């Protein structure tokens, strides 16, 4: 266990340094970029090791895995992020556990979250997932759907929209990642022009292990990193 924490701490320190360097290169500071440590590849012990290594923002892409880990790791200073697709029938169990849902990709899902949040008397923070890559396998709103959703957003007063999220295309390397990430920023700037005052689009959740530096150059405020944090650890 100690070895695990040590290895993960080294990996976290290395990633934090790279985040700081990329942020400075983009004329920003390390504090402008939040690290969400994605623990989906591993189990409870590894998530606990991430916490021990100082990561307080933990991301899971599958609701079921998030439920299991959140039940096992009841630490007060843990903030769980749901970063993957959320089916509406899983909203009820997920909502009380998470501090931010990155992956709202339909008005129907937003409505369900709003209703459920109302029932448990809380306001749920969310990001809207946008499909910037044109990849049909990926979830996410088109720009027109995003605009429509934002127009209706004020009706849903138990959700707090904080920004946008995207994933770059799998293929295409840095050039395509740059295009996809700058597209999210430009869409955000465009949408923010006539956005209802209740809505904030300040957060941009974009960038993973292989492309987070590119994302930071393009304005990411949240990066979601998994594999790099588990470098050198056998599954
Ligand atoms: C798995 C996952 C990540 C992290 O991916 P790595 O390449 O391992 O850093 C980030 N975002 C989402 C939505 C994911 O599913």
Q: How far apart are CA 19 and CA 223, in angstroms?
A: 9
For residue 136, the model assigns a pLDDT of 79
Domain count within the chain: 1
Indicate which CATH number applies to the domain containing 205: 3.20.20.10
| Ligand 1 centroid, distance to 92 Cα (angstroms) | 24
Is 235 part of any domain? Answer: no
The C-alpha angle with vertex 151 and arms to 145 and 153, in degrees rounded to 5, equals 95
* Ligand 1 atom nearest to 40, measured from its CA: 1
Residue from 12, 60, 61 whose mutation best tests the ligand 1 pocket (most atoms within 8 A of CB): 61
* Ligand 1 atom nearest to 208, measured from its CA: 9
CA distances from 83 to 2, 59, 155, 225 (A): 28, 6, 24, 11
Is 234 part of any domain? Answer: no
Measured in degrees and rounded to the nearest 5, phi and psi for residue 99 equal: -95, -25
Is 206 part of any domain? Answer: yes
Is 113 part of any domain? Answer: yes
Token pair in block for residue 193: 């022009």
Q: How far apart are CA 167 and CA 114, in angstroms?
A: 25
Is 132 part of any domain? Answer: yes
**Cβ contacts of residue 189 below 8 Å, gap of 6+?**
none
Pocket of ligand 1 (CB under 6 A): 38, 40, 61, 83-84, 167, 208-210, 224-227
Residues 106-144 as b or e (16 or more Cβ within 10 Å = b): beebbebbbebbeeeeeebbbbbbbbbbebeebbbbeee
* Domain encompassing residue 136: 2-229
* Ligand 1 atom nearest to 209, measured from its CA: 9
List helix spans (H) across 120-203.
143-152, 173-193
Is 45 part of any domain? Answer: yes
* CB distance 173 to 195 below 8 Å: no
Which residues in the chain show pLDDT less than 50? none
Give which of 65, 63, 118 is closest to 86, Cα–Cα: 63
| Ligand 1 centroid, distance to 197 Cα (angstroms) | 31
* CB distance 214 to 181 below 8 Å: yes
Is 48 part of any domain? Answer: yes
Is 213 part of any domain? Answer: yes
């Amino acid at each position: 266990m100690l070895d695990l924490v040590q290895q993960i701490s080294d990996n976290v320190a290395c990633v934090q340094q790279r985040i700081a360097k990329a942020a400075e290169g983009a004329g920003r500071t390390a504090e402008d970029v939040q690290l969400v440590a994605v623990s989906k590849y591993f189990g409870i012990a590894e998530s606990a090791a991430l916490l021990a290594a100082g990561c307080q923002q933990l991301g899971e892409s599958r609701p079921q895995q998030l439920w299991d880990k959140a039940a096992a790791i009841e630490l007060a200073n843990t903030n769980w992020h749901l970063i993957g697709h959320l089916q509406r029938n899983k909203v009820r169990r997920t909502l009380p556990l998470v501090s931010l849902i990155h992956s709202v990709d339909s008005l129907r899902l937003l409505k369900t979250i709003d209703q459920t949040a109302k029932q448990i008397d809380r306001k749920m923070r969310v990001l809207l997932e946008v499909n910037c890559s044109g990849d049909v396998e990926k979830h996410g709103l088109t720009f027109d759907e995003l605009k429509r959703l934002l127009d209706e957003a004020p009706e849903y007063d138990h959700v707090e929209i904080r920004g946008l999220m995207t994933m770059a295309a799998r293929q295409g390397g840095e050039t395509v990642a740059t295009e996809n990430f700058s597209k999210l920023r430009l869409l955000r700037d465009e949408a923010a022009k006539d956005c209802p005052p209740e809505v904030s689009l300040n957060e941009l959740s974009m960038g993973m292990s292989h492309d987070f530096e590119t994302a930071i150059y393009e304005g990411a405020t949240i990066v979601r990193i998994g594999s790099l944090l588990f470098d050198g650890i056998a599954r």
